[in-house]
């Protein structure tokens, strides 16, 4: 048998049901492997005692014949999800020592389904970044060619790295402009950003409220479907949560895509697109064509404005959301001579460079005299981007694109760290999906010439994650990508 920590979630559940190993044995192996992989800096807090206690409960449930859907599965939780009684900081100095008195809806559902928490995973500070280098706890190292010290992508870099390194069975992530999909591509794992409103945002520290969406990062497509089955669903605590039934996403896996219309947008193949990425994109198109799908050329003409629109709207919402971190109620407090001094001192010491940059941009575009010129215009273009997708989906059922414009790059790469625009360009293929509120999944398609993972992205209609999963499963089967063991 493979090492327990290299099994997929569905393989693990099968083994637990057959009594081939216990949940405690499983948890112990993950804990041991996580300790051995601390150089990756994927976890900012390990909770082995809690994981073992939950595993013992799971073994009792298996013994009595009433296991729940994710019984005994050890998960890593992105440090953006509030976990009751467990430190949660969004990897920011300003939330030092914050222990939430409540549980996020997504993690509560996962734990109620029998999953356990191995610990909190590293991330870009308040989810602002594309490489996991803005974390107060330092950068995460990509487990692929770890000796080269490559980034895992961001902001859910700790989640993707931990799954790829087999130090959790699967992980939670959040995606505001590509923060599940891009790190999944960099680390050779699968991740899905569901439709906006599919998963509750209650208890997830807000970055940009109209864009943020929780989703799973896992070893394969089926695992993502299993986790999303549990994570999704209406929540009265979240006003943006949609009251809609959640189908069993696993039921579509293995279904034929014969007759499915797959859109290929011209705008995602700009001059200078990395030749290896373009070749793998063509390979994915050919895979679906050979499986009976019909390939349709489409246009998303406002794509070229997506990054500019995103970097107006997201910082604007961030500046509003982060106003609550003032040193009065929770986390860090740096004293001053008077109240204004305390605010300034706390926020100066507590926030990192990238967070400050985005708060300043957001405050500027929301200020009098600039609100109309920037923010309102950005919202109008956002609607045009959404309309592009709506028109495209009149001609196709899903859209296939690359996930990221490059493979993982080195931690501290000067071309990225010295020019934030270059870092933001990592999201060029992903931000449009968030602006339009659509579901999209990244899955590994192959390796670059340097032996690093590259990903493809499948985009679907709103609340049609089923077709996304069905299409991704066909590509996964044909690609035969080999994960790290």
| Closest C-alpha to 447, from 399, 479, 422 | 479
Alpha helix positions (H), 305-376: 306-321, 339-350, 353-366
Catalytic residue among 104, 116, 155, 190: 155
Q: Evaluate whether 430 touches 407 at the Cβ level (below 8 Å).
A: no
Query: How many of the other CB atoms lie within 10 Å of CB of 239?
Result: 10
Task: Write out the two tokens for 256.
Answer: 């034929």
Residue 64 among the catalytic residues: no
Residue with tokens 């601390």: 38
* 89-93-97 Cα angle (round to 5): 50
Asked if the peptide bond before residue 155 counts as cis, ω within 30 degrees of 0, the response is yes
Altogether, the residues listed in the chain come to a count of 485
User: What span, in angstroms and rounded, lies between the C-alpha atoms of 263 and 299?
Assistant: 9
Residue 155 among the catalytic residues: yes
| Integer-rounded Cα radius of gyration of the chain | 21
Q: Evaluate whether 128 touches 355 at the Cβ level (below 8 Å).
A: yes
- If DSSP codes are grouped into helix, strand and coil, which group holds residue 185? helix
User: What span, in angstroms and rounded, lies between the C-alpha atoms of 279 and 161?
Assistant: 25
Catalytic residue among 78, 193, 219, 470: 78
Measured torsion, CA atoms of residues 443, 431, 233, 78, in degrees rounded to the nearest 10: 70
Residue with tokens 């479907």: 225
Catalytic residue among 104, 135, 179, 241: 179
Measured torsion, CA atoms of residues 303, 305, 310, 313, in degrees rounded to the nearest 10: -130
User: What span, in angstroms and rounded, lies between the C-alpha atoms of 123 and 92?
Assistant: 9
| Closest C-alpha to 169, from 289, 324, 21 | 21
Q: Evaluate whether 265 touches 298 at the Cβ level (below 8 Å).
A: yes
User: What span, in angstroms and rounded, lies between the C-alpha atoms of 409 and 407?
Assistant: 6
Residue 156 among the catalytic residues: no
User: What span, in angstroms and rounded, lies between the C-alpha atoms of 465 and 253?
Assistant: 11
Residue with tokens 């599919």: 198
- If DSSP codes are grouped into helix, strand and coil, which group holds residue 160? helix
User: What span, in angstroms and rounded, lies between the C-alpha atoms of 184 and 215?
Assistant: 12
Phi-psi label, residue 408: left if phi above 0, alpha if psi -120 to 50, beta otherwise: beta
**Catalytic residue numbers?**
78, 155, 179
């Amino acid at each position: 048998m493979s090492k327990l920590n290299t099994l997929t979630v569905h393989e693990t559940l099968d083994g637990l049901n057959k009594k081939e190993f216990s949940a405690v044995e499983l948890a112990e192996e993950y804990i041991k492997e996580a300790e051995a992989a601390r150089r990756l800096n994927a976890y900012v807090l390990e909770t082995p005692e809690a994981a073992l206690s939950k595993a013992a409960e799971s073994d009792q449930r298996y013994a009595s014949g009433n296991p729940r859907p994710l019984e005994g599965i050890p998960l890593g939780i992105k440090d953006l999800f509030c976990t009751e009684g467990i430190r949660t900081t969004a990897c920011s100095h300003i939330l030092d020592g914050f222990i939430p008195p409540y549980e996020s809806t997504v993690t509560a559902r996962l734990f109620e389904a029998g999953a356990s928490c191995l610990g909190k995973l590293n991330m870009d500070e308040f989810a602002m970044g594309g490489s996991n280098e803005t974390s107060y706890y330092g950068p995460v190292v990509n487990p692929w060619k770890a000796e080269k010290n490559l980034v895992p992508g961001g902001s859910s870099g700790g989640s993707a790295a931990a799954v790829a390194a087999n130090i959790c069975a699967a992980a939670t992530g959040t995606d505001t402009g590509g923060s599940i999909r891009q790190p999944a591509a960099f680390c050779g794992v699968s991740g899905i950003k569901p439709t906006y409103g599919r998963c509750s945002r209650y208890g997830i520290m807000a970055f940009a409220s109209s864009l943020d969406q929780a989703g799973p990062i896992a070893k394969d497509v089926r695992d993502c479907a299993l986790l999303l089955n549990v994570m999704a669903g209406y929540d009265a605590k979240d006003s943006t949560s949609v009251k809609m039934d959640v189908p069993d996403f696993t039921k579509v896996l293995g279904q034929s895509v014969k007759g499915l219309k797959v859109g290929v947008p011209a705008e995602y193949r700009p001059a200078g697109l990395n030749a290896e990425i373009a070749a793998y994109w063509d390979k994915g198109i050919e895979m679906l064509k050979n499986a009976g799908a019909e390939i349709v050329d489409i246009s998303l003409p406002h794509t070229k404005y997506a990054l500019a629109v995103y970097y107006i709207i997201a910082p604007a919402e961030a500046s509003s959301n982060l106003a609550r971190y003032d040193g009065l109620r929770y986390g860090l407090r740096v004293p001053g001579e008077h109240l204004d001094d305390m605010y300034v001192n706390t926020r100066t010491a507590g926030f990192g460079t990238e967070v400050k940059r985005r708060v300043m941009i957001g405050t500027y575009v929301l200020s009098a005299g600039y609100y109309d010129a920037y923010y309102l215009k950005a919202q109008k273009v956002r609607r045009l981007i959404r309309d592009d997708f709506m028109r495209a989906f009149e001609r196709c059922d899903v859209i296939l694109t690359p996930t990221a414009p490059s493979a993982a790059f080195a931690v501290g790469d000067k071309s990225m760290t010295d020019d934030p625009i270059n870092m933001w360009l990592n999201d060029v293929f992903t931000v449009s999906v968030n602006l339009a509120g659509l579901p999209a999944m990244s899955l590994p398609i192959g390796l670059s010439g340097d032996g690093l993972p590259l990903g493809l992205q499948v985009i679907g209609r709103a609340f049609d994650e089923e077709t996304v999963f069905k299409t991704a499963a066909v590509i996964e089967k044909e690609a035969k990508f080999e994960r790290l063991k």
